[in-house]
Amino acid sequence: MNSPSAEQRPPQRPRDQAYAHAVALMTTHPLIDAHNDLPWTVRKAGGSDLERYDLTKLHPETDTDIPRLRAGKVATQVLAAFLPTSVAHPATVTLEQIDLILRIEDRHSDAFHPVRRPADVAQAQQLGKIGSLPSVEGTVGLEGSLAPLRLWQRLGVRLVTLCHNESLPWIDSATDKPDAAHGGLSDFGRAMIGEMNRIGLIVDLAHVAPHAMHKVLDVATAPVVISHTCAAALCAHRRNTPDDVLRRLPANGGMVMATFVPEFLNPSALEGVRRFKDEWGKMHPNAGPADYRQARDACLQGWNQDGIAYFCDHLAHFRSIVGEDRIGIGSDFYGGPNPPGLEDASKFPDLIAELVRRDWGDAAIIKLMGGNFQRIWADILAKAV
């Protein structure tokens, strides 16, 4: 990616009293990042070879490694077992991705502590380690069966994102044509939600189409989360969550977690790449990858404010709709281009410092960082059979 010139970059954020206050808060209260695709980044770069892809070393070509997670004071990282919807043998690939997360925990046990229940978040922080919470992004690996859900949970998975960028026969994606036959959620999809609620898996509506989000909220008996999204009212990306869905979260008991994706945060970034995509946000088959990358990179230059400012604006909108007890953070770091100011996992203290400057107050910031997620996760487990 072409680096913006000094005059194009937003000014560097100060290491001032607000920053020092943010670091103090993060030292005593956990920050939970609800979505990171590090396992797929490792798979692409090193074929899942953790010796070859050494997470103890700085990887400037991507955004996440152990040094930057520590610098960012991340207390618990949700690591996603992501796989593309179109991948061959999705059930196997899902297991391979879960296995990779478990091998990361084993190989780097001095850095990571397994998080499988809410109390483990505090234990990891007390040990001076990064909590590792496995998730699955996309239920394509179910292949029409509920049995893998139960096996994923036994392997340590605690959160499941229902789909990715493509619709599945049981759930509509926000970035794909809806399935008129089932109206967003099929009978199998309803059974999937019921089983996840029964065994205490966190239902994640990120990537789900808004009409399907409503269908899930109609049948869910436990709180849901939307782990990485932004406000559709501020940026009209199909992946962003509209206000009518947000307004249902308090009654459900769930929460929404804002993300760092440039096209979700900044309407000009979205507009800059729109011509390369179809009405659902898919790349046109004849779109030139090099031209798209050039346009995308240009959208990261010359922002009139940095990604942290945009992010905090989206957070403020979420807070105005659902309240401070139902919001959190899900970076969606995936090794790709990130907004200025949010380039990598070391930047979380800068983000929290901006909230200090915006007078959010310590109690609200502590809830946002991780308190809300821990409480809602405990509620989900309490409703499990």
Structure tokens at 284: 């046109």
Tell me whether residue 42 is exposed, middle or buried, using C-beta atoms within 10 angstroms of its C-beta: 0 to 12, 13 to 18, 19 or more: buried
Q: Which two tokens stand for residue 129?
A: 């380690």
Q: Which two tokens stand for residue 182?
A: 């089932």
In terms of phi and psi (left: phi > 0; alpha: psi -120 to 50; beta: otherwise), the region of 89 is left
CB 81 within 8 A of CB 151: no
What single DSSP character describes residue 247?
T
Q: H or E segment at 18?
A: helix 17-28
Strand 327-329 and strand 255-258: the pairing is parallel
Residue 184's region, left for phi above 0, alpha for psi from -120 to 50, else beta, is left
Q: How many helices (H) and strands (E) does the chain have?
A: 17, 9
* Contacts with 88 (C-beta within 8 Å, 6 or more apart), sequence order: none
Tokens of 287: 């779109």
Q: Which amino acid is at 173?
A: S
Residue 367 DSSP label: I
Residue 64: Cβ within 10 Å count: 26
Q: State how far the Cα of 70 lies from the Cα of 134, in Å rounded to an integer.
A: 18
Catalytically annotated residues: 35, 37, 137, 164, 207, 228, 332
Contact between 349 and 187 (Cβ < 8 Å): no
- Give the 3-state secondary structure of 275-307: HHECCCCCECCCCCHHHHHHHHHHHCCCCCCCH
Cα 125 to the chain's mean position, in Å?
A: 21
Task: Supply the Cα-derived Rg of the chain in whole angstroms.
Answer: 19
Q: How far apart are the first and last CA of the chain?
A: 49
